[in-house]
Amino acid sequence: MITKERAEQIKRLLWIGVRGIDVARMTGVTTNYVTRVRQGKSLWQVEWPNGWIGHLPRERDRWIRENGFVTLEEVRTVLEEMKDGS
């Protein structure tokens, strides 16, 4: 069973464009499960950061694919820079 906090974390990471394999590694689930979340087949009842229920909104998915996926390392770098006040 996935906790609500873990479910929200998975969706936030997907929302910002983290690759599915990195989301799976960070949250301890399978890449298959991450794909099911993205498609709205799992955790559909948990809201995306914009309040949407269900699959990753098509507009957001399109934006991510056009602008490229980010790695977890890139996310960590940005978070560290934010902590430093950069």
Per-residue model confidence (pLDDT) at position 85? 62
Measured CA angle at 82 (ends 78, 84), to 5 deg: 120
pLDDT above 90: percentage of residues in the chain: 77
Find the length of the chain. 86
Smallest CA-to-CA distance from 29 within 67, 68, 57, 3 is with 3
Pick 47 or 73 by higher pLDDT: 47
Tens digits of residue pLDDT in 26-54: 999 999 999 999 999 999 999 999 999 99
Q: Please state, as a whole number, how many other Cβ atoms lie within 10 Å of the Cβ of residue 23.
A: 23
Calculate mean pLDDT across residues 13-34: 94
The token pair at 30 is: 């399978």
Q: Is 37 exposed, middle or buried (0-12, 13-18, 19+ CB in 10 A)?
A: buried
pLDDT tier, 82 (very low <50, low <70, confident <90, very high otherwise):
confident
